[in-house]
Amino acid sequence: MNANPLLQAWNTPHQLPPFDQVQAEHFEPAFDVLFAEHLAEIDQLAALNEPASFENTAAAFDRSGLRLERAQLLLDNLTSSETSPELQEVERRMASKLAEHRSRIYMHAGFFARLDAIHAQRDNLSLNEEQGRLLDLIHRDFVRAGAKLQGPARQRYAEVVSKLAELTTAFGQNVLADESEYALPLTENDLAGLPPFLLDAARAAAEARQLPGWVITLSRSSIVPFLTFSQRRDLREQAWRAWTGRGEYPERDNRPLAKQILALRVEQAKLLGYASFADYAIANRMAGAPAAVHALMDQVWEPAKARFESEKAMLREEAAKLGEPADIQPWDWFYLAEKVRIARYALDDAEIKPYFGLENMIKAMFDVAGRLFGLSFSERHDLKLYHPDVRAWDVSREGKVIALFLGDNYARQSKRGGAWMHVYRWQSRNGGETLPIVVNNNNFAKAGHGQTLLSFDDVRTLFHEFGHGLHGMLSNVEYRLVASPNSPWDYVELPSQLMENWALVPEVLEKHARHAETGAAIPAELVAKIKAARHFNQGFETVRYAASTLIDLALHERDDADGIDIAAFETAERERLGVPPAAGMNHRPPHFGHIFSGDAYAAGYYVYMWAEVLEAEAFGAFEEAGDPFDPELADKLYRYIYSAGDAREQRAAFRAFRGRDPQAEAMLKSRGLR
Question: Which three-class secondary structure state does DSSP give residue 411?
Answer: coil
Name the residue ranges covered by the structural domains of the chain. 7-148, 182-236
Task: Tell me: pLDDT of 337 over 90.
Answer: yes
449 confidence band (pLDDT: 50, 70, 90): confident
pLDDT at 535: 87
What pLDDT digit, counting tens, does each position of 629-641 carry?
999 999 999 999 9
The DSSP result for 172-213, as a single string, is HHHHHHHHHH--EEE-GGG-TT--HHHHHHHHHHHHHTT-SS
What pLDDT digit, counting tens, does each position of 175-222 carry?
999 999 999 999 999 999 999 999 999 999 999 999 999 999 999 889
Q: Is the pTM of this model over 0.85?
A: yes
575 confidence band (pLDDT: 50, 70, 90): very high
Task: Tell me: pLDDT of 369 over 90.
Answer: yes
What pLDDT digit, counting tens, does each position of 206-264 carry?
999 999 999 999 998 899 999 999 999 999 999 999 999 999 988 899 999 999 999 99
- Rounded to 5 degrees, φ, ψ at 380 are -105, 125
Rounded Cα distance between 344 and 579, Å, is 26
Picking from 300, 353, 244, the residue whose alpha carbon sits closest to that of residue 583 is 244
Question: Which three-class secondary structure state does DSSP give residue 161?
Answer: helix
pLDDT at 388: 97
Residue 565: CB atoms within 10 Å: 11
Position 166, amino acid: E
The mean per-residue pLDDT over the stretch 33-42 comes to: 98
**Percent of the chain predicted with pLDDT > 90:** 92
Pick 7-148's CATH classification: 3.40.50.720, 1.20.1050.40, 3.30.413.10, 3.60.15.10. Answer: 1.20.1050.40
pLDDT at 468: 98
2 confidence band (pLDDT: 50, 70, 90): low
pLDDT at 189: 96
* 465 counts as catalytic: yes
Q: Is the separation of the CB atoms in 609 and 295 below 8 Å? A: no
What pLDDT digit, counting tens, does each position of 596-636 carry?
999 999 999 999 999 999 999 999 999 999 999 999 999 99
Q: To the nearest 5 percent, what fractions of the chain are helix, strand and coil?
A: 60, 5, 30
What pLDDT digit, counting tens, does each position of 287-296 carry?
999 999 999 9
Task: Tell me: pLDDT of 561 over 80.
Answer: no
pLDDT at 450: 84
Q: Which of 465, 493, 615, 617 is flagged as catalytic?
A: 465
Q: Is the separation of the CB atoms in 580 and 308 below 8 Å? A: yes
Rounded Cα distance between 295 and 239, Å, is 36
pLDDT at 560: 84
**Cα of 155 vs its chain's centroid, Å:** 32
Angle at 526 between CA 524 and CA 529, to 5 degrees: 115
Residue 468 buriedness (CB in 10 A; 0-12 / 13-18 / 19+): buried
Dihedral angle over CA of 345, 346, 348, 353, nearest 10: -90
Residue 378: CB atoms within 10 Å: 10
Rounded Cα distance between 611 and 498, Å, is 9
The mean per-residue pLDDT over the stretch 523-537 comes to: 90
Task: Tell me: pLDDT of 563 over 80.
Answer: no
